[in-house]
Structure 1
Amino acid sequence: MHHPENPLIANVILDDALDKSLDYLIPAEITDTINPGSRVLVPVKNSVRQATVWQVKSSSSHLNLKSIVKLLSTAPVTTPDLLEMARWMSRYYCSPLYKVLTTLLPSSVRGKAKEETQYFITPLISEAAIAQACAKLRQKYREQALVLDVLLRHKEGLFLSDLLKETGGSKSPVETLKKNKLILMEKRQLDRSVVWEQDYFLSKKKTLSTEQATALSTITSSLDLGMFRTHLLFGVTGSGKTEVYLQAIEHALHLKKGVIFLIPEIILTSQTIERLKSRFQEKIALLHHRLSPGERLDTWNHILLGTAPIVVGARSALFSPVPNLG
């Protein structure tokens, strides 16, 4: 823990129109939660602007620093590797850092979309007690019984919006059941992410030809060494390139590494997802420009947390915050 008499300094990049970083004092209450990649509100002249924390340091060459107004994200919105790549892109392409970060971080991640919460309903009594309560309520309080019927089918609970879709009723019977201490209503974050899980039997990998096996061996050797190398697979349509990709992905996942599978067009998304779902148990995230801001934000967070180690998408998926990318 840092001592408040020696406050830390955050070097930040504003979201727009300033080709340099700025230093701000980090308030004591957020010292332990702010990191490179965190999103913050900072004072600039007579306004408050959004920014990305670039660096946390112990000193500054500037005097009379202002303090950060608010920490917008308790966790970084990107990975250290992507921040390092942003630094390289800025130098290599002679582009201001704020423009590079605008490219790397979707607008939804930069604060244009908000996390959404909703009431989540779970039973407070046993399954047998719910069934008994249903029988008692069915004659005079049919709508309450209907709510409990739905909870019998969803033993882990469900969001209020999904519950009301199934009952076709209003919130009133739900409130009554809560008042009578039969159910619990608590706010939870709604997951709008576009993430798939394996939902049928896994297919077996195919036996590779000599040429395929040679190509795969070259790729997996790079993965084993943890080295960056470029590999070009050349072959006509139907020559088996995709099977090499799939087995390379399998090897990366075995090494606990993440994967980005880029496709040339969004129209190819469905068949790519189905192919991956048939081979891997891991969750698969989809990123492309047609997602709503909320869908993109929640999918981004899944990827960042490592819960979806396979990312599929077109160009915009290139900068996905995949931890430990293979």
Structure 2
Amino acid sequence: MIVQVALISPKHIIDRSFDYIVPKELEDAVKVGIRVLVPFGLYNNSVEGLIVGISQSSQFTRLKRIKSVVDTKPVCSKELLSLCVWMQNRYLCPFYSAFKLIVPPKMKTVIRRWVSLQNADTAGISEFQKKIVDILTQNDGIMEYDHLGELVSSPAYHRSLNSLADKKVISISEKISDSIRELTIRIVKLKISSDEAYAAADELFKKHAHVQGNMLLALADSEKLTTSEIIALSDGNYSSLAALTEKGFVEIYSEKKVREVYDESDYIVTNEYEPTDEQKPIIDYIDNLLDENKHEKILIRGVTGSGKTEIFLQTIRKCIEDGKRAIMLVPEISLTPQMVERFVSRFGKRVAVIHSGLSYGERFDQWNKIKNNEVDVVVGARSAIFAPLENIGMIILDEEHENSYKSEINPRYHAREVAEYRASANGAPLILASATPSVDSFYHAKTLGDYKLFEMNNRYNDNSLPSVEIVDMRSEIFNYHNMSPISNRLEFEIRKNLEKNEKTILFLNRRGYNTFVSCRQCGYVMECKNCSIPLTYHMNSDSLVCHYCGYSIRNVSVCPECGSKHIKFFGTGTQKIEDELKRLFPEAKILRMDRDTTSTKGSHEAILNKFKNGEADILLGTQMVTKGLDFSDVTLVGVLAADSSLGVDDFRANERTFSLLTQVCGRAGRGDIPGRAVVQTYQPKNSTIEFAKTHDYIGFYENEIKFRKRLNYPPFCDIISILVQGKTEDIVKSEISSVFEFVKNSDDNHNNIIKLAHPMPAPIQRIKGDYRYRILIKVRDADLSLDILHEINNTHIQKNKNTTMIIDINPINMS
């Protein structure tokens, strides 16, 4: 039997499979999707691989044999294996990079090699080999292979070690372990009845074996306890426990313990609502697709508060009743706690949760539960689309317009595209939903008919959408001499909310205290030494921080350029707004939600629970507070810098601004009390802001689609970014110029190219010390350019070791 093995080691990223012979004794254990250890390279070191195919013959001769089988059952289904291959081609990534997405983080086989001294006789060996023997002798005759290599530090090390092994001077062994595994706990259980345990305890007390007696009494009352629990209860030790085992009173065994990510008892069971006239046709349509096992793409545009989540819940219930399973994606970790609460309240413990905020152990256990078919629904952020769920009946992307569904690291996949692939492979409907669908999705639904379009224009409780008031911040300065980032109108509305005990959400799309620090005398701006961007001031640590590479320095009081003490802070961040709120409303309880306050495990949920439970009057935050949050007692939303995202060098700037404003304003008025929003801007007549004021998505879309068509931007084309970065600017410029010439002179790609831009420095020219240059290509269809992109990528891998190339199709971040 021959197996085709793809290497899945970060040290061996080779995009091809290798044929290996399966020893007779391992043939029954071999399946596609199983991990194995194989000999690889000149010295046949063990490398982890994945079986991707099985055959009876090979075109190659002198094949090596696989060493061992790691798994008892496949870690990768055939569907997910096909997905990895598709991603390889679509996103120009190695197989290894795609595979790591479908297994839990840190899941790998740890191979530790040991060198043992077998014979200290140094006759007939070289001086260098004698040095190796001496070092081993000084270290009790055994050392780790890599540690020994560091001490001798020679390119001849591997060859010399193999020579010593051939001469029986040393032996080389391997110790194999999993980097992450199921958690087991040691359990103590009575082997005798409770009555017998009481009697035995009395006898032990008479013999002054008080600890053993107390242990038996504890077990007689509890049946079974963990070893740590019984030792704590009896003030005992492990030797006393061992004595009870020897006497046949108790037995000790291991039991699997799942690291749970939620407690089902924390949630109140909820029942289905009666669907509205707008919800019912959508539910019926999806139910029919489920009955027919039919794949179709559906876009639901529903205003904020229209009841999209109830549609998800009721159609998933139908999906489960049909014996199928569902994936529910949300764009942000901050949205996961509320969505988990709704799903667990409806479906109980048959819900798994996956997102990057979980510990490695928790993610492993959730992955295991899904793989073992112990759950019906997977809820999570972008990475949950790779859950090993079988028999998928439907996939849902909530807030489908969100940029966070696109990965900005390799592989640069979009969760929507991966969801389309998996839904199609399973014959399942794909549901996209948003109050502000992406312009691309709405165009594909309304004009091209690629998606079935449903629209919900009313809130579930028939409440009106919040009234929106635009405040011209120029008037605040020139007419009212108000230099505060909080306008007079917003201050008045917040004060009114505090008096009525109603809650307020404030949105500012900047973290930190000030956006940059500059010298008023010479104009010098404090910049990151590694990146070509200004440092941001953080008041809590009195430091200047780069939000790209993490570089930080103590705050400056003297200009490093001219020596002036006239240092000024420009811009306003969330920390500064928090201080201003405390000054204006000293009686108010304020919570701040940004990356700085949510960096620890469980912090998103803790902040939202405090706000939900009435422990705060005002929730101030960045984009985390703009979508998905559903608090019935929030009646006021304030947007502090509505136009900050309009001035970005990105054709999607209007779309992002409209979505942000519409989504955050939609957090108000979800209960019985009407909501209101105050939007502060320096561009009150900007059309995007005016459309957001009236919640007019259709008006915004029609205006935006004309602009996109006129300038040939997506959805009327695809944009490909090819970026080269490295430490030496001349090398980077030379490579990007070569790529440009290759694309320009490629006959195969000519008819597909709409516009090829000349090489230019990236908008942020340097990050983490790397110079960055790029070309942008507008093409009619990116799929038609994949062959030439693979050729460019392969040439880079073969010839350019001192640079990194990033090829991104329809990038979200244009910097």
Correspondence for 2:372 among 287, 305, 314:
305
Q: Which amino acid aligns with 2:278?
A: E
The answer to whether the aligner puts 1:226 opposite 2:301 as a matched pair is no
Q: Which residue of 1 aligns with 2:330?
A: 263
Is 2:4 aligned against 1:29?
A: no
Structure 1 distance, partners of 2:67, 2:96, is 20
Range moving further from structure 2, 111-120 or 212-221: 111-120
1:195-228 deviation digits (Å, cap 9, x = unpaired) = 6556776322111112211111222222222232
Distance 2:210 2:328 in 1: 50
Q: Kindly report which structure 2 residues correspond to 1:154-169, keeping only aligned pairs within 5 A, or say none.
A: 154-155=222-223, 157-164=224-231, 166-167=233-234, 169=236
Offset of residue 158 of structure 1: 4.2
Query: Given that residues 79 and 304 in structure 1 are in contact (C-alpha distance below 8 angstroms), is that contact kept between their aligned partners in structure 2?
Result: no
Answer whether contact 1:197 1:284 (CA < 8 A) is retained: no
**Cα contact 1:108–1:296 (8 A) shared by 2:** no
TM-score, normalized by length of structure 1?
0.87
Correspondence for 1:53 among 51, 54, 67: 51
What CA deviation, in whole Å up to 9, does each residue of 1:68-109 have, x standing for no partner? 111111111122221122222223334332222123223333
User: What is the percentage of aligned positions where both structures have the same residue?
Assistant: 33
Which position in structure 2 is the counterpart of 1:110? 108
1:153–1:308 Cα change, 3 Å: farther
1:73 maps to which of 66, 71, 74: 71
Indicate the structure with greater strand content.
Answer: 2
Letter in 1 for 2:254: K
Change (3 A) 1:89 1:200: closer
Is the alpha carbon distance of 1:42 and 1:165 closer, same or farther for their aligned partners in structure 2, counting shifts above 3 Å?
Answer: farther
Between 1:142-151 and 1:271-280, the stretch displaced more is 142-151
Q: Which residue of 1 aligns with 2:238?
A: 171
1:39 and 2:35 equivalent? yes
Offset at residue 279 of structure 1 (A) = 1.2
Alignment match, 1:147: 215
Bigger Cα displacement from structure 2, 170-179 vs 12-21: 170-179
Q: Matched residue pairs, number?
A: 318
Change (3 A) 1:208 1:169: farther
Stretch deviating more after TM superposition (114-123 or 235-244): 114-123
Q: Distance in 2 between matches of 1:223 and 1:282?
A: 23
**For each residue in 1:234-277, what CA deviation from the matched residue of structure 2 results, as whole angstroms up to 9, or x when unmatched?**
21222111111111221121122222222222223322222222
Distance 1:178 1:262, change over 3 A: same
Which residue of structure 2 aligns with residue 126 of structure 1?
Answer: 193
| CA displacement, residues 114-154 of structure 1 (integer Å, 9 cap, x when unaligned) | 34444222221223333444455467444334433443454
Q: Please give the secondary structure, in 1, of the residue aligned with 2:48.
A: strand
Q: TM-score, normalised by structure 2?
A: 0.37
1:10-25 alignment, distance < 5 Å? 10-15=3-8, 16=10, 17-25=13-21
Match of 1:288 in 2: 355
User: Structure 1 268/200 Cα, relative in aligned 2: closer, same or farther at 3 Å?
Assistant: closer
How far 1:312 moved relative to its partner?
1.9
Moved more, 20-29 or 89-98: 89-98
- Superposed CA deviations along residues 7-28 of structure 1, whole A, max 9, x for unmatched, are x222111114101111111222
Range 192-201 or range 227-236, more displaced: 192-201
Q: Pick from 91, 101, 110: which aligns with 1:93?
A: 91
Q: 1:9 aligns with which of 2, 12, 18?
A: 2
Matches of 1:168 and 1:57, distance apart in 2: 60
SS in 1 for 2:36: strand
Aligned to 1:3: none
Q: Amino acid of the residue matched to residue 14 of structure 1?
A: L
- The 1:95–1:144 alpha-carbon spacing in structure 2 relative to 1, beyond 3 Å, is same
User: Could you tell me whether the CA contact under 8 Å between 2:352 and 2:366 is conserved in 1?
Assistant: yes
Mapped partners of 1:282, 1:247: distance in 2: 17
Letter aligned with residue 34 of structure 2: S
What SS class does the counterpart of residue 233 from structure 1 fall into? strand
**Tell me, what secondary structure is at the counterpart of 1:18?**
coil
Larger radius of gyration: 2
Is 2:392 the counterpart of 1:325? yes
Structure 2: how far apart are the matches of 1:247 and 1:186? 43
| Cα distance in structure 2, aligned partners of 1:273 and 1:138 | 51
**Does the 8 Å CA contact 2:4/2:52 hold for their aligned counterparts?**
yes
Tell me if structure 2 keeps the 8 A contact 1:39–1:51: yes
Q: CA deviation at 1:311?
A: 1.8
Whether contact under 8 Å (1:204, 1:279) holds in the other structure is yes
CA distance 1:259–1:128, change in 2 (3 Å): farther
Secondary structure of the 2:300 match is coil
Relative to structure 1, the CA distance from residue 193 to residue 278 in structure 2 (aligned partners, 3 Å threshold; closer, same or farther) is closer
For residues 23 and 375 of structure 2, the distance between their equivalents in structure 1, rounded to whole angstroms, comes to 34
**C-alpha distance in 2 between matches for 1:200 and 1:312:** 16
Tell me, yes or no, if structure 1 residue 278 matches structure 2 residue 345.
yes
Higher mean C-alpha displacement, 270-279 vs 18-27 = 270-279
Further displaced range: 27-36 or 87-96: 87-96
What is the one-letter code of the residue matched to 1:255? D
Task: Tell me which stretches of 4 or more aligned residues in structure 1 moved more than 6 Å.
Answer: 198-201
Unaligned runs of at least 5 residues, structure 1: 1-7
- Aligned counterparts of 2:257 and 2:189: Cα–Cα separation in 1: 15
